[in-house]
Each structure stands twice: as C-alpha cells, then as structure tokens.
C-alpha cells in the first residue's frame, strides 16, 4: 500500500518504503539540528517525489548563520527550515 495524506497508519515501514535516508556521521561537528532537518527534508522528499535524494547538511552548517544557526556549535531545526525555505538546499551529487 502506498501512503497518502489521508491513509497513513502506524503500520507503515518507512525504511522499506524508502523514506529513511542512510545514517550520516557528523564527526566532531555538533550540528544535530542540521542533520535532523535534512533527515526530515529527505524523508518528505522521498514520500512526495517517490525518489530518495541526499541534501546538503554542510550547506546548512556553513550558510545558515544569518537565520540563527551557529555552524558546528549549535542551531535548531526551525532556523534550518526557515533557511531552506528562504534560500533553498542543494542536492548532493
């Protein structure tokens, strides 16, 4: 069964559906805000566009300071989503 806005139940396996991206390693950078925001974007992108894309965590870490994030020091998902809405996000090729 393919999920839709009207029929999403608790029994959907989002991994087998392809909406969960591979695990990423943030190394020494404590930018969990960027990794969680990108994970959310990748999941919703897979659901709506029916293909899995990898989006740039590094872009959020490097470029979203004017939206309130602090690179590898700290930030939050709302600031990240606001940045993505305002500036867009690159697909990793």
Q: Could you give the domains of the chain?
A: 24-87 (3.90.70.10)
pLDDT digits (tens, 9 = 90+) for 45-88: 988 888 889 999 999 999 999 999 999 999 999 999 999 999 99
Dihedral sign from CA coordinates of 66, 25, 43, 40: negative
- CA angle at residue 73 from 68 to 77, to 5 degrees? 45
43, 12 Cβ separation under 8 angstroms: no
pTM here is 0.81
pLDDT of residue 7: 61
Residues 6+ apart with CB under 8 A from 14: 20, 43
């Amino acid at each position: 069964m393919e999920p839709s806005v009207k029929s999403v139940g608790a029994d959907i396996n989002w991994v087998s559906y392809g909406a969960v991206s591979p695990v990423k390693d943030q190394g020494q950078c404590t930018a969990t805000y960027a990794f969680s925001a990108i994970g959310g974007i990748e999941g919703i992108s897979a659901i709506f566009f029916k293909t899995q894309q990898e989006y740039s965590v590094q872009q959020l870490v490097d470029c979203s300071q004017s939206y309130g994030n602090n690179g590898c020091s700290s930030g939050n998902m709302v600031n990240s989503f606001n940045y993505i809405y305002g500036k867009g996000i690159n697909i990793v090729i």
